[in-house]
Structure 1
Amino acid sequence: MDPALLRERELFKKRALSTPAVEKRQAASDSGSHKKKKPKGDKEGSSGSKHSAESSNGSFNIKTSSGYKFGCLAKIVNYMKTRHQNGDTHFLTLEEILDETKLLDISMKQKQWLMTEALVNNPKIDVRDGTYGFKPKYNLKDKKALLRLLDKHDQLGLGGVLLDDVEEGLPNSAKAIKALGDQIIFVTRPDKKKILFYNDKHCQFAVDEEFQKLWRSVPVDSIDDEKIEEYLKKQGISSMQETGPKKVLPVQKRKKQGGQRKRHFKTHNNHLAGVLEDYSDGVPVKK
Protein backbone atom coordinates (compact mmCIF):
# COMPACT_ATOMS: atom_id res chain seq x y z
CA MET A 1 0.00 0.00 0.00
CA ASP A 2 1.13 3.50 -0.74
CA PRO A 3 2.87 5.05 2.29
CA ALA A 4 1.17 8.40 1.58
CA LEU A 5 -2.27 6.82 1.89
CA LEU A 6 -1.25 5.11 5.11
CA ARG A 7 -0.19 8.43 6.60
CA GLU A 8 -3.45 10.07 5.54
CA ARG A 9 -5.39 7.17 7.05
CA GLU A 10 -3.54 7.46 10.34
CA LEU A 11 -4.11 11.24 10.42
CA PHE A 12 -7.82 10.72 9.71
CA LYS A 13 -8.13 8.22 12.57
CA LYS A 14 -6.37 10.55 14.94
CA ARG A 15 -8.57 13.45 13.85
CA ALA A 16 -11.71 11.36 14.14
CA LEU A 17 -10.80 10.06 17.59
CA SER A 18 -9.62 13.35 18.97
CA THR A 19 -12.29 15.72 17.69
CA PRO A 20 -15.47 14.02 19.05
CA ALA A 21 -13.86 13.33 22.40
CA VAL A 22 -12.92 16.97 22.85
CA GLU A 23 -16.36 18.18 21.77
CA LYS A 24 -18.14 15.78 24.15
CA ARG A 25 -15.98 16.83 27.10
CA GLN A 26 -16.58 20.51 26.47
CA ALA A 27 -20.31 19.94 26.05
CA ALA A 28 -20.46 17.86 29.20
CA SER A 29 -18.46 20.38 31.15
CA ASP A 30 -20.48 23.28 29.78
CA SER A 31 -23.80 21.59 30.43
CA GLY A 32 -22.70 20.54 33.89
CA SER A 33 -21.55 24.00 34.71
CA HIS A 34 -24.81 25.43 33.45
CA LYS A 35 -26.80 22.91 35.45
CA LYS A 36 -24.86 23.71 38.56
CA LYS A 37 -24.91 27.44 38.10
CA LYS A 38 -28.54 27.66 37.10
CA PRO A 39 -30.02 26.30 40.34
CA LYS A 40 -27.59 28.43 42.27
CA GLY A 41 -28.64 31.43 40.26
CA ASP A 42 -32.27 30.52 40.78
CA LYS A 43 -31.75 30.21 44.51
CA GLU A 44 -29.96 33.51 44.63
CA GLY A 45 -32.64 35.09 42.51
CA SER A 46 -35.41 33.72 44.70
CA SER A 47 -33.68 34.73 47.91
CA GLY A 48 -32.82 38.09 46.43
CA SER A 49 -36.39 38.65 45.35
CA LYS A 50 -37.60 37.52 48.77
CA HIS A 51 -35.19 39.88 50.49
CA SER A 52 -36.12 42.72 48.17
CA ALA A 53 -39.80 42.04 48.79
CA GLU A 54 -39.28 42.05 52.50
CA SER A 55 -37.19 45.20 52.38
CA SER A 56 -39.63 46.92 49.99
CA ASN A 57 -42.57 45.88 52.13
CA GLY A 58 -40.71 46.87 55.30
CA SER A 59 -42.67 44.43 57.45
CA PHE A 60 -39.78 42.14 58.37
CA ASN A 61 -37.34 44.76 59.57
CA ILE A 62 -39.93 46.98 61.26
CA LYS A 63 -41.88 44.32 63.12
CA THR A 64 -38.75 42.85 64.69
CA SER A 65 -37.45 46.22 65.88
CA SER A 66 -37.94 47.68 69.33
CA GLY A 67 -39.51 50.80 67.83
CA TYR A 68 -42.39 48.81 66.39
CA LYS A 69 -42.80 46.99 69.70
CA PHE A 70 -43.14 50.19 71.73
CA GLY A 71 -45.30 51.70 68.98
CA CYS A 72 -47.78 48.85 69.50
CA LEU A 73 -47.76 49.55 73.24
CA ALA A 74 -48.43 53.26 72.70
CA LYS A 75 -51.30 52.43 70.32
CA ILE A 76 -52.86 50.11 72.89
CA VAL A 77 -52.59 52.68 75.72
CA ASN A 78 -54.07 55.46 73.58
CA TYR A 79 -56.92 53.18 72.53
CA MET A 80 -57.68 52.21 76.13
CA LYS A 81 -57.67 55.89 77.11
CA THR A 82 -60.03 56.85 74.26
CA ARG A 83 -62.53 54.10 75.02
CA HIS A 84 -62.46 55.04 78.75
CA GLN A 85 -63.22 58.67 77.86
CA ASN A 86 -66.13 57.48 75.72
CA GLY A 87 -67.61 55.59 78.68
CA ASP A 88 -66.40 52.06 77.84
CA THR A 89 -64.82 51.25 81.19
CA HIS A 90 -65.22 47.45 81.15
CA PHE A 91 -62.02 45.42 81.04
CA LEU A 92 -60.78 43.54 77.95
CA THR A 93 -58.55 40.55 77.36
CA LEU A 94 -55.35 40.94 75.36
CA GLU A 95 -56.89 39.16 72.35
CA GLU A 96 -59.84 41.57 72.39
CA ILE A 97 -57.49 44.55 72.61
CA LEU A 98 -55.37 43.27 69.70
CA ASP A 99 -58.50 42.61 67.69
CA GLU A 100 -59.94 46.12 68.25
CA THR A 101 -56.57 47.81 67.62
CA LYS A 102 -55.94 45.63 64.51
CA LEU A 103 -52.65 44.27 65.83
CA LEU A 104 -53.34 40.60 65.15
CA ASP A 105 -50.14 40.11 63.12
CA ILE A 106 -47.71 40.58 66.01
CA SER A 107 -45.56 37.62 67.03
CA MET A 108 -46.00 35.39 70.07
CA LYS A 109 -42.84 36.87 71.57
CA GLN A 110 -44.33 40.36 71.45
CA LYS A 111 -47.60 39.10 72.95
CA GLN A 112 -45.65 37.55 75.81
CA TRP A 113 -43.79 40.84 76.31
CA LEU A 114 -47.09 42.74 76.46
CA MET A 115 -48.61 40.33 79.00
CA THR A 116 -45.61 39.92 81.30
CA GLU A 117 -43.85 43.30 81.14
CA ALA A 118 -45.32 46.15 79.12
CA LEU A 119 -48.98 46.24 80.17
CA VAL A 120 -48.36 45.03 83.73
CA ASN A 121 -45.75 47.71 84.47
CA ASN A 122 -47.51 50.55 82.63
CA PRO A 123 -48.85 53.17 85.09
CA LYS A 124 -51.89 53.86 82.89
CA ILE A 125 -53.06 50.24 82.61
CA ASP A 126 -54.97 48.37 85.35
CA VAL A 127 -54.77 44.55 85.35
CA ARG A 128 -57.52 42.34 86.84
CA ASP A 129 -57.52 38.56 86.43
CA GLY A 130 -55.85 38.61 83.03
CA THR A 131 -57.98 41.49 81.71
CA TYR A 132 -56.89 45.08 81.14
CA GLY A 133 -58.46 48.49 81.63
CA PHE A 134 -57.39 52.13 81.66
CA LYS A 135 -56.19 53.60 84.98
CA PRO A 136 -56.54 57.41 85.11
CA LYS A 137 -55.18 59.65 87.86
CA TYR A 138 -58.73 60.40 89.06
CA ASN A 139 -61.33 57.73 88.34
CA LEU A 140 -64.50 59.82 88.06
CA LYS A 141 -67.88 58.40 87.09
CA ASP A 142 -69.97 61.54 86.68
CA LYS A 143 -70.16 65.28 87.39
CA LYS A 144 -71.03 64.70 91.06
CA ALA A 145 -67.79 62.77 91.55
CA LEU A 146 -65.87 65.65 89.95
CA LEU A 147 -67.55 68.20 92.22
CA ARG A 148 -66.73 66.09 95.31
CA LEU A 149 -63.09 65.86 94.19
CA LEU A 150 -62.78 69.64 93.75
CA ASP A 151 -64.53 70.27 97.09
CA LYS A 152 -62.14 67.87 98.84
CA HIS A 153 -59.11 69.58 97.31
CA ASP A 154 -60.46 72.94 98.41
CA GLN A 155 -61.07 71.83 102.01
CA LEU A 156 -57.64 70.19 102.31
CA GLY A 157 -55.86 73.15 100.76
CA LEU A 158 -54.55 71.08 97.84
CA GLY A 159 -55.47 73.68 95.25
CA GLY A 160 -57.09 72.80 91.96
CA VAL A 161 -57.06 69.88 89.55
CA LEU A 162 -55.63 69.93 86.05
CA LEU A 163 -58.21 69.86 83.28
CA ASP A 164 -56.11 67.22 81.46
CA ASP A 165 -56.43 64.87 84.44
CA VAL A 166 -60.18 65.46 84.60
CA GLU A 167 -60.61 64.78 80.87
CA GLU A 168 -58.52 61.64 81.23
CA GLY A 169 -60.58 60.12 84.05
CA LEU A 170 -64.11 61.44 83.48
CA PRO A 171 -66.14 59.98 80.58
CA ASN A 172 -67.78 62.72 78.50
CA SER A 173 -65.97 65.33 80.60
CA ALA A 174 -66.90 68.32 78.42
CA LYS A 175 -70.62 67.67 78.95
CA ALA A 176 -70.17 67.21 82.72
CA ILE A 177 -68.11 70.40 83.14
CA LYS A 178 -70.64 72.39 81.15
CA ALA A 179 -73.47 71.06 83.33
CA LEU A 180 -71.71 72.18 86.54
CA GLY A 181 -71.60 75.76 85.28
CA ASP A 182 -70.50 78.38 87.84
CA GLN A 183 -69.73 75.76 90.48
CA ILE A 184 -66.26 75.51 88.90
CA ILE A 185 -63.67 78.22 88.40
CA PHE A 186 -61.07 77.99 85.61
CA VAL A 187 -57.56 79.39 86.02
CA THR A 188 -55.03 79.33 83.16
CA ARG A 189 -51.40 78.77 84.05
CA PRO A 190 -48.48 80.45 82.24
CA ASP A 191 -47.97 77.26 80.20
CA LYS A 192 -51.57 77.57 78.89
CA LYS A 193 -52.82 74.58 80.91
CA LYS A 194 -56.15 75.06 82.70
CA ILE A 195 -56.82 74.26 86.36
CA LEU A 196 -60.25 73.63 87.87
CA PHE A 197 -61.16 75.00 91.33
CA TYR A 198 -64.24 74.49 93.43
CA ASN A 199 -66.32 77.66 93.62
CA ASP A 200 -67.44 77.65 97.24
CA LYS A 201 -70.44 79.99 97.26
CA HIS A 202 -70.60 79.95 101.06
CA CYS A 203 -67.48 82.11 101.06
CA GLN A 204 -69.12 84.77 98.92
CA PHE A 205 -70.21 87.61 101.20
CA ALA A 206 -70.18 91.39 101.09
CA VAL A 207 -67.22 93.10 102.75
CA ASP A 208 -67.56 96.62 104.18
CA GLU A 209 -65.62 99.25 102.21
CA GLU A 210 -63.96 100.61 105.37
CA PHE A 211 -62.63 97.14 106.16
CA GLN A 212 -61.34 96.84 102.58
CA LYS A 213 -59.44 100.13 102.97
CA LEU A 214 -57.90 98.94 106.23
CA TRP A 215 -56.94 95.63 104.58
CA ARG A 216 -55.27 97.34 101.64
CA SER A 217 -53.44 99.79 103.92
CA VAL A 218 -51.44 97.03 105.64
CA PRO A 219 -47.91 97.01 104.15
CA VAL A 220 -46.64 93.63 103.04
CA ASP A 221 -43.46 94.75 101.25
CA SER A 222 -41.26 93.34 104.01
CA ILE A 223 -42.76 89.84 103.61
CA ASP A 224 -41.23 87.88 100.75
CA ASP A 225 -42.66 84.84 98.97
CA GLU A 226 -40.60 82.40 101.03
CA LYS A 227 -42.06 83.65 104.33
CA ILE A 228 -45.58 83.53 102.91
CA GLU A 229 -45.06 79.98 101.67
CA GLU A 230 -43.58 78.95 105.02
CA TYR A 231 -46.62 80.39 106.84
CA LEU A 232 -49.01 78.57 104.51
CA LYS A 233 -47.25 75.26 105.12
CA LYS A 234 -47.55 75.74 108.89
CA GLN A 235 -51.28 76.26 108.43
CA GLY A 236 -51.52 73.09 106.31
CA ILE A 237 -52.03 74.94 103.01
CA SER A 238 -49.90 74.16 99.98
CA SER A 239 -49.15 76.94 97.54
CA MET A 240 -49.94 76.67 93.83
CA GLN A 241 -46.26 77.03 92.98
CA GLU A 242 -45.84 73.30 93.53
CA THR A 243 -48.30 72.42 90.75
CA GLY A 244 -47.12 75.13 88.37
CA PRO A 245 -44.47 74.76 85.68
CA LYS A 246 -40.97 74.46 87.06
CA LYS A 247 -38.31 76.76 85.72
CA VAL A 248 -35.14 75.02 84.71
CA LEU A 249 -32.11 77.04 85.67
CA PRO A 250 -29.31 77.15 83.10
CA VAL A 251 -26.34 75.04 84.02
CA GLN A 252 -23.26 77.14 84.59
CA LYS A 253 -20.21 75.70 82.94
CA ARG A 254 -17.13 75.60 85.07
CA LYS A 255 -13.95 76.98 83.70
CA LYS A 256 -11.30 74.41 83.12
CA GLN A 257 -8.45 74.90 85.53
CA GLY A 258 -6.18 72.59 83.62
CA GLY A 259 -5.43 75.24 81.02
CA GLN A 260 -3.99 77.68 83.61
CA ARG A 261 -0.34 77.06 84.28
CA LYS A 262 1.77 78.53 86.99
CA ARG A 263 4.45 80.85 85.74
CA HIS A 264 7.93 80.21 86.95
CA PHE A 265 10.39 83.09 87.20
CA LYS A 266 14.11 82.68 87.01
CA THR A 267 16.14 83.79 90.01
CA HIS A 268 19.53 85.36 89.56
CA ASN A 269 22.61 85.62 91.80
CA ASN A 270 21.85 82.49 93.74
CA HIS A 271 25.52 82.14 94.55
CA LEU A 272 25.40 85.45 96.47
CA ALA A 273 22.49 84.53 98.71
CA GLY A 274 24.48 84.81 101.95
CA VAL A 275 26.47 87.88 100.92
CA LEU A 276 23.88 90.41 99.75
CA GLU A 277 22.04 92.58 102.28
CA ASP A 278 18.54 94.09 102.19
CA TYR A 279 18.49 97.94 102.24
CA SER A 280 14.73 98.36 101.59
CA ASP A 281 14.22 99.85 105.11
CA GLY A 282 17.17 102.19 104.78
CA VAL A 283 20.85 101.97 105.45
CA PRO A 284 21.53 100.44 108.84
CA VAL A 285 23.41 102.65 111.31
CA LYS A 286 26.85 101.36 112.19
CA LYS A 287 27.53 101.12 115.88
Structure 2
Amino acid sequence: MDPALIRERELFKKRALSTPAVEKRSAPAESSSSKKKKSKPDKEGAAASKQDSTNGSFNLKALSGSSGYKFGVLAKIVNYMKTRHQRGDTHHLTLDEILDETKLLDIGMKQKQWLMSEALANNPKIEVRDGKYAFKPKYNLKDKKALLRLLDKHDQLGLGGVLLDDVEEGLPNAAKAIKALGDQIIFVTRPDKKKILFYNDKHCQFIVDEEFQKLWRSIPVDSMDEEKIEEYLKKQGISSMQETGPKKMAPVQKRKKPGSQKGRRFKTHNHHMAGVLEDYSDGVPAKK
Protein backbone atom coordinates (compact mmCIF):
# COMPACT_ATOMS: atom_id res chain seq x y z
CA MET A 1 0.00 0.00 0.00
CA ASP A 2 1.09 3.52 -0.73
CA PRO A 3 2.74 5.07 2.37
CA ALA A 4 0.99 8.39 1.66
CA LEU A 5 -2.44 6.74 1.88
CA ILE A 6 -1.49 5.03 5.16
CA ARG A 7 -0.40 8.38 6.60
CA GLU A 8 -3.66 10.05 5.55
CA ARG A 9 -5.69 7.22 7.15
CA GLU A 10 -3.88 7.59 10.47
CA LEU A 11 -4.50 11.34 10.44
CA PHE A 12 -8.21 10.75 9.73
CA LYS A 13 -8.43 8.37 12.71
CA LYS A 14 -6.85 10.93 15.04
CA ARG A 15 -9.24 13.66 13.90
CA ALA A 16 -12.23 11.32 14.33
CA LEU A 17 -11.23 10.41 17.89
CA SER A 18 -10.61 14.04 18.86
CA THR A 19 -14.08 15.31 17.75
CA PRO A 20 -17.01 14.22 20.13
CA ALA A 21 -20.22 12.74 18.61
CA VAL A 22 -23.75 13.72 19.91
CA GLU A 23 -26.83 11.59 19.21
CA LYS A 24 -30.22 13.22 18.74
CA ARG A 25 -33.24 11.44 20.29
CA SER A 26 -36.41 12.98 18.99
CA ALA A 27 -38.99 10.32 20.01
CA PRO A 28 -38.64 10.53 23.83
CA ALA A 29 -38.82 14.31 23.70
CA GLU A 30 -42.13 14.11 21.89
CA SER A 31 -43.54 11.61 24.41
CA SER A 32 -42.53 13.79 27.37
CA SER A 33 -44.14 16.83 25.80
CA SER A 34 -47.32 14.88 25.11
CA LYS A 35 -47.36 13.74 28.76
CA LYS A 36 -47.13 17.33 29.88
CA LYS A 37 -49.98 18.28 27.59
CA LYS A 38 -52.12 15.41 28.88
CA SER A 39 -51.42 16.24 32.51
CA LYS A 40 -52.71 19.80 32.16
CA PRO A 41 -56.39 18.94 31.71
CA ASP A 42 -56.19 16.41 34.57
CA LYS A 43 -54.91 19.14 36.86
CA GLU A 44 -57.64 21.45 35.70
CA GLY A 45 -60.30 18.80 36.41
CA ALA A 46 -58.89 18.18 39.89
CA ALA A 47 -58.86 21.89 40.59
CA ALA A 48 -62.48 22.16 39.46
CA SER A 49 -63.52 19.29 41.71
CA LYS A 50 -61.68 20.89 44.62
CA GLN A 51 -63.50 24.14 43.99
CA ASP A 52 -66.84 22.30 44.04
CA SER A 53 -66.00 20.61 47.34
CA THR A 54 -64.80 23.84 48.96
CA ASN A 55 -68.03 25.56 48.00
CA GLY A 56 -69.90 22.92 50.03
CA SER A 57 -71.98 21.72 47.07
CA PHE A 58 -71.69 18.66 44.86
CA ASN A 59 -72.46 18.45 41.19
CA LEU A 60 -75.60 16.33 40.87
CA LYS A 61 -75.43 16.43 37.09
CA ALA A 62 -72.14 14.51 37.19
CA LEU A 63 -73.98 11.66 38.92
CA SER A 64 -77.01 11.71 36.65
CA GLY A 65 -78.31 8.33 35.54
CA SER A 66 -76.91 6.54 38.60
CA SER A 67 -78.34 5.59 41.98
CA GLY A 68 -75.93 8.06 43.60
CA TYR A 69 -77.71 10.90 41.83
CA LYS A 70 -81.14 9.84 43.10
CA PHE A 71 -80.06 9.37 46.71
CA GLY A 72 -78.05 12.60 46.59
CA VAL A 73 -81.24 14.44 45.65
CA LEU A 74 -83.15 12.68 48.44
CA ALA A 75 -80.51 13.53 51.06
CA LYS A 76 -80.51 17.17 50.03
CA ILE A 77 -84.32 17.38 50.28
CA VAL A 78 -84.46 15.69 53.73
CA ASN A 79 -81.69 17.93 55.10
CA TYR A 80 -83.46 21.02 53.78
CA MET A 81 -86.81 19.96 55.30
CA LYS A 82 -85.08 19.41 58.65
CA THR A 83 -83.44 22.87 58.57
CA ARG A 84 -86.66 24.68 57.71
CA HIS A 85 -88.49 22.77 60.49
CA GLN A 86 -85.84 23.91 62.98
CA ARG A 87 -86.36 27.48 61.77
CA GLY A 88 -90.05 27.20 62.61
CA ASP A 89 -91.38 26.64 59.06
CA THR A 90 -93.47 23.55 59.83
CA HIS A 91 -96.14 23.93 57.11
CA HIS A 92 -96.30 21.31 54.35
CA LEU A 93 -94.90 21.89 50.84
CA THR A 94 -95.61 20.32 47.46
CA LEU A 95 -92.80 18.54 45.62
CA ASP A 96 -92.50 21.38 43.09
CA GLU A 97 -92.15 23.91 45.93
CA ILE A 98 -89.46 21.76 47.55
CA LEU A 99 -87.55 21.43 44.27
CA ASP A 100 -87.84 25.16 43.73
CA GLU A 101 -86.51 26.04 47.18
CA THR A 102 -83.68 23.48 46.97
CA LYS A 103 -82.80 24.60 43.40
CA LEU A 104 -83.28 21.10 41.97
CA LEU A 105 -85.34 22.15 38.96
CA ASP A 106 -83.25 20.17 36.44
CA ILE A 107 -84.29 16.67 37.56
CA GLY A 108 -86.30 14.51 35.18
CA MET A 109 -89.78 13.04 35.40
CA LYS A 110 -88.46 9.60 36.44
CA GLN A 111 -86.72 11.07 39.47
CA LYS A 112 -89.85 13.06 40.38
CA GLN A 113 -92.00 9.94 40.16
CA TRP A 114 -89.47 8.01 42.30
CA LEU A 115 -89.49 10.77 44.92
CA MET A 116 -93.29 10.90 45.11
CA SER A 117 -94.04 7.17 45.01
CA GLU A 118 -91.11 5.68 46.94
CA ALA A 119 -88.40 7.90 48.38
CA LEU A 120 -90.38 10.59 50.21
CA ALA A 121 -93.47 8.45 50.83
CA ASN A 122 -91.48 5.72 52.63
CA ASN A 123 -88.96 7.97 54.39
CA PRO A 124 -89.36 7.84 58.22
CA LYS A 125 -88.32 11.50 58.52
CA ILE A 126 -90.92 12.83 56.04
CA GLU A 127 -94.65 13.22 56.72
CA VAL A 128 -97.02 13.12 53.74
CA ARG A 129 -100.40 14.88 53.97
CA ASP A 130 -102.69 15.51 50.98
CA GLY A 131 -99.80 15.24 48.51
CA LYS A 132 -97.66 17.69 50.51
CA TYR A 133 -94.54 17.02 52.54
CA ALA A 134 -93.11 18.17 55.88
CA PHE A 135 -90.35 17.04 58.23
CA LYS A 136 -91.30 14.38 60.79
CA PRO A 137 -89.15 14.52 63.96
CA LYS A 138 -89.13 11.94 66.75
CA TYR A 139 -90.73 14.43 69.15
CA ASN A 140 -92.88 17.13 67.57
CA LEU A 141 -92.48 19.98 70.04
CA LYS A 142 -93.92 23.45 69.50
CA ASP A 143 -92.37 25.40 72.38
CA LYS A 144 -90.54 25.13 75.71
CA LYS A 145 -93.73 24.14 77.56
CA ALA A 146 -94.16 21.12 75.30
CA LEU A 147 -90.54 20.12 76.00
CA LEU A 148 -91.07 20.40 79.76
CA ARG A 149 -94.25 18.29 79.56
CA LEU A 150 -92.35 15.63 77.59
CA LEU A 151 -89.53 15.46 80.16
CA ASP A 152 -92.03 15.37 83.04
CA LYS A 153 -93.93 12.49 81.40
CA HIS A 154 -90.71 10.53 80.87
CA ASP A 155 -89.79 11.09 84.51
CA GLN A 156 -93.17 9.91 85.84
CA LEU A 157 -93.24 6.81 83.64
CA GLY A 158 -89.64 5.92 84.46
CA LEU A 159 -88.51 6.22 80.84
CA GLY A 160 -85.42 8.24 81.70
CA GLY A 161 -84.23 11.24 79.74
CA VAL A 162 -84.44 12.45 76.15
CA LEU A 163 -81.52 12.88 73.78
CA LEU A 164 -80.57 16.47 73.08
CA ASP A 165 -80.24 15.61 69.36
CA ASP A 166 -83.89 14.49 69.25
CA VAL A 167 -84.99 17.68 71.01
CA GLU A 168 -83.01 19.91 68.64
CA GLU A 169 -84.46 18.00 65.69
CA GLY A 170 -88.10 18.49 66.71
CA LEU A 171 -88.15 21.80 68.59
CA PRO A 172 -87.81 25.03 66.56
CA ASN A 173 -85.20 27.35 68.09
CA ALA A 174 -84.29 24.62 70.59
CA ALA A 175 -81.25 26.38 72.07
CA LYS A 176 -83.33 29.43 73.02
CA ALA A 177 -86.09 27.29 74.61
CA ILE A 178 -83.62 25.17 76.63
CA LYS A 179 -81.87 28.30 77.88
CA ALA A 180 -85.22 29.79 78.97
CA LEU A 181 -86.11 26.68 81.02
CA GLY A 182 -82.92 27.05 83.08
CA ASP A 183 -82.63 24.79 86.15
CA GLN A 184 -85.87 22.95 85.35
CA ILE A 185 -83.73 20.69 83.15
CA ILE A 186 -80.72 18.57 84.12
CA PHE A 187 -78.03 17.71 81.56
CA VAL A 188 -76.16 14.39 81.72
CA THR A 189 -73.33 13.53 79.28
CA ARG A 190 -73.05 9.90 78.23
CA PRO A 191 -69.70 8.13 77.63
CA ASP A 192 -70.21 8.64 73.87
CA LYS A 193 -70.35 12.44 74.51
CA LYS A 194 -74.07 12.67 73.68
CA LYS A 195 -76.13 14.83 76.04
CA ILE A 196 -79.39 13.70 77.67
CA LEU A 197 -82.06 15.97 79.16
CA PHE A 198 -83.87 15.03 82.39
CA TYR A 199 -86.72 16.73 84.20
CA ASN A 200 -85.55 18.35 87.42
CA ASP A 201 -88.36 17.47 89.83
CA LYS A 202 -87.87 19.91 92.72
CA HIS A 203 -90.51 18.15 94.86
CA CYS A 204 -88.08 15.25 95.27
CA GLN A 205 -85.38 17.52 96.71
CA PHE A 206 -85.27 17.17 100.49
CA ILE A 207 -82.59 17.24 103.19
CA VAL A 208 -81.55 13.87 104.60
CA ASP A 209 -80.48 13.71 108.24
CA GLU A 210 -76.72 13.28 108.72
CA GLU A 211 -77.18 10.38 111.15
CA PHE A 212 -79.19 8.47 108.53
CA GLN A 213 -76.49 9.22 105.92
CA LYS A 214 -73.82 7.78 108.23
CA LEU A 215 -75.86 4.62 108.79
CA TRP A 216 -76.43 4.28 105.03
CA ARG A 217 -72.74 4.65 104.23
CA SER A 218 -71.61 2.33 107.06
CA ILE A 219 -73.05 -0.76 105.32
CA PRO A 220 -70.63 -2.02 102.63
CA VAL A 221 -72.38 -3.64 99.69
CA ASP A 222 -69.59 -3.56 97.08
CA SER A 223 -68.68 -7.24 97.42
CA MET A 224 -72.27 -8.46 97.89
CA ASP A 225 -74.52 -9.71 95.14
CA GLU A 226 -78.34 -9.51 95.10
CA GLU A 227 -78.85 -12.86 96.85
CA LYS A 228 -76.60 -11.90 99.77
CA ILE A 229 -78.31 -8.52 100.10
CA GLU A 230 -81.72 -10.22 100.13
CA GLU A 231 -80.52 -12.71 102.78
CA TYR A 232 -79.19 -9.86 104.94
CA LEU A 233 -82.50 -7.98 104.69
CA LYS A 234 -84.44 -11.09 105.75
CA LYS A 235 -82.25 -11.46 108.85
CA GLN A 236 -82.99 -7.86 109.75
CA GLY A 237 -86.73 -8.47 109.29
CA ILE A 238 -86.99 -6.45 106.07
CA SER A 239 -88.76 -7.92 103.06
CA SER A 240 -87.39 -6.99 99.66
CA MET A 241 -89.56 -6.03 96.69
CA GLN A 242 -89.54 -9.05 94.44
CA GLU A 243 -92.14 -8.18 91.83
CA THR A 244 -90.67 -4.87 90.66
CA GLY A 245 -87.74 -6.18 88.64
CA PRO A 246 -87.83 -8.34 85.54
CA LYS A 247 -88.69 -11.94 86.30
CA LYS A 248 -86.25 -14.62 85.26
CA MET A 249 -88.04 -17.28 83.31
CA ALA A 250 -86.86 -20.84 83.86
CA PRO A 251 -85.92 -22.66 80.67
CA VAL A 252 -88.76 -24.82 79.46
CA GLN A 253 -87.76 -28.44 78.97
CA LYS A 254 -89.26 -30.07 75.94
CA ARG A 255 -91.03 -33.34 76.63
CA LYS A 256 -90.38 -36.25 74.39
CA LYS A 257 -93.42 -37.47 72.58
CA PRO A 258 -94.42 -40.99 73.72
CA GLY A 259 -95.14 -42.09 70.18
CA SER A 260 -91.76 -41.07 68.89
CA GLN A 261 -90.23 -44.50 69.56
CA LYS A 262 -92.80 -46.34 67.47
CA GLY A 263 -91.10 -45.47 64.29
CA ARG A 264 -87.75 -46.91 65.36
CA ARG A 265 -86.37 -49.55 63.07
CA PHE A 266 -84.37 -52.55 64.22
CA LYS A 267 -81.97 -54.64 62.26
CA THR A 268 -83.26 -58.05 61.22
CA HIS A 269 -80.97 -61.04 60.91
CA ASN A 270 -81.14 -64.58 59.40
CA HIS A 271 -82.63 -63.50 56.10
CA HIS A 272 -81.30 -66.72 54.53
CA MET A 273 -83.52 -68.81 56.89
CA ALA A 274 -86.80 -67.08 55.91
CA GLY A 275 -88.47 -70.25 54.50
CA VAL A 276 -87.20 -72.67 57.18
CA LEU A 277 -87.90 -70.98 60.56
CA GLU A 278 -91.38 -71.02 62.13
CA ASP A 279 -93.07 -68.36 64.34
CA TYR A 280 -93.99 -69.61 67.86
CA SER A 281 -95.03 -66.22 69.30
CA ASP A 282 -98.75 -67.33 69.44
CA GLY A 283 -97.97 -70.73 70.91
CA VAL A 284 -97.04 -74.10 69.47
CA PRO A 285 -98.92 -74.72 66.24
CA ALA A 286 -101.06 -77.86 66.00
CA LYS A 287 -99.60 -80.81 64.17
CA LYS A 288 -101.08 -81.41 60.80
Counterparts of 1:86 and 1:232, CA distance in 2 = 49
Corresponding position of 2:244: 235
Contact (CA 8 Å) 2:140, 2:171: kept in 1 or not? Answer: yes
Distance 1:73 1:233, change over 3 A: farther
Contact (CA 8 Å) 2:90, 2:134: kept in 1 or not? Answer: yes
Identity %: 83
Q: How many residues end up aligned between the 2 structures?
A: 180
Counterparts of 1:232 and 1:174, CA distance in 2 = 42
Counterpart check, 1:127 vs 2:136:
no
Corresponding position of 2:52: none
Corresponding position of 2:99: 98
Distance 1:142 1:157, change over 3 A: same
Corresponding position of 1:84: 85
- 1:59: how far off? 6.8
Distance 1:190 1:232, change over 3 A: farther
Matches within 5 A, 1:1-287: 62-224=63-225, 235=244
Counterparts of 1:109 and 1:134, CA distance in 2 = 23
Output the TM-score relative to the length of structure 2.
0.58
- Matched residue SS, 2:128: strand
- 1:224: how far off? 5.0
Counterparts of 2:227 and 2:101, CA distance in 1 = 53
Contact (CA 8 Å) 1:157, 1:236: kept in 2 or not? Answer: no
Q: Deviations over 1:233-265 (max 9, x none)?
A: 95379xxxxxxxxxxxxxxxxxxxxxxxxxxxx
Question: Which ranges of structure 2 fall in alignment gaps of 5 or more residues?
Answer: 1-47, 50-58, 230-239, 247-288
Q: Deviations over 1:94-142 (max 9, x none)?
A: 0000000000100100000000000011000000010000000000000
Counterparts of 2:64 and 2:186, CA distance in 1 = 48
Q: Deviations over 1:17-76 (max 9, x none)?
A: xxxxxxxxxxxxxxxxxxxxxxxxxxxxxxxxxxxxxxx998765211110110000000
Q: Which has the higher contact order (CA 8 A, sep 6+)?
A: 1
Counterparts of 1:198 and 1:142, CA distance in 2 = 16
- Matched residue SS, 1:220: coil
Counterparts of 1:151 and 1:159, CA distance in 2 = 10
Counterparts of 1:137 and 1:74, CA distance in 2 = 18
Distance 1:69 1:224, change over 3 A: farther
Corresponding position of 1:49: none
